[in-house]
Amino acid sequence: MTAPGDGAGGFNGVPGSAPLRVVVADDQASVREGLVLLLGGLPGIDVVGAAADGEQALELVAEHKPDAILLDLHMPVLDGIAATRRLTAEHPGVAIVVLTTYVDDNSVLDALRAGARSYLTKDADRTDIARALQAAAGGLTVFDPRVHDTLLAAAAPARPDPWQAGPGRTGPPDGLTHREAEILALIGGGLTNPEIAERLYLSNHTVKTHINRIFAKTGSRDRAAAIGYARRHNLG
């Protein structure tokens, strides 16, 4: 991960300059409070507000007019994507840095299209987060390495789809989506959930959600049954 910075202290890069004013938004109280403590203890950072959902984030931004906001994607009332769209429209001068556990292509691309300037995962340390906030406020972009890989994968040419409509071809069986059929094929090939997540650039949570839907649609009670189903349908 790269961004402008001058080491352990003085993230503004100019001694004595005004600190970067930041709002933190995360629905998990422990995470939110931890971020406030971590960032508030750094030179050059002033946390001016902490929100538990997207609506509160918008209210705090309107009240405090910060330089940047550190925003989770999955929050109640108003999620991070919708909040990002409104922040971009209503407060275009506020730099938006996403901090989340999700690195699947939909989450990353939706956040960037909505107006997020940088995208980090929650295993980033406080120095990385502070530098990303400073960089974003300066008009630069910072990506977690896994996010960078996700963007490269999303930009790569699509792989041939065995279920692509055409002469003599039909869609996946039993109402499976193309993504579900792809994951089922990987299950049939013996891959574990973390291996599937890595292969498809998805979060473990997203993979589990897909697998639950696969089990329901195929009538599979467990992974062994799903593997049997995949083999009967020439998947994997």
pLDDT, the chain, mean: 83
Say if CB 99 and CB 71 are below 8 A apart. Answer: yes
Q: What is the pTM of this model?
A: 0.61
Domains of the chain: 20-153 (3.40.50.2300), 173-232 (1.10.10.10)
Query: What's the confidence (pLDDT) of residue 103?
Result: 72
Q: Is the pLDDT of residue 5 over 50?
A: no
> DSSP letters of the chain?
------SSS-TTSSTTPPPEEEEEE-S-HHHHHHHHHHHHTSTTEEEEEEESSHHHHHHHHHHH--SEEEE-SS-SSS-HHHHHHHHHHH-TTSEEEEEES--SHHHHHHHHHHT-SEEEETT--HHHHHHHHHHHHTT---B-HHHHHHHHHHHSPPPP-TT--BTTB---GGG--HHHHHHHHHHHTT--HHHHHHHHT--HHHHHHHHHHHHHHHT-SSHHHHHHHHHHTT--
Between CA 119 and CA 220 the distance in angstroms is: 36
Query: What's the confidence (pLDDT) of residue 204?
Result: 80
Query: What's the confidence (pLDDT) of residue 132?
Result: 92
Residue bearing tokens 């509160």: 56
Query: What's the confidence (pLDDT) of residue 3?
Result: 41
Sheet holding 95-100, edge to edge: 45-51, 20-25, 68-71, 95-100, 118-121
Q: Is the pLDDT of residue 48 over 90?
A: yes
Rg (C-alpha) for the chain, rounded Å, is 21
Q: Is the pLDDT of residue 134 over 60?
A: yes
Convert the pLDDT of each residue in 169-207 to its tens digit.
Answer: 566 888 888 888 889 999 988 889 988 888 887 778 888
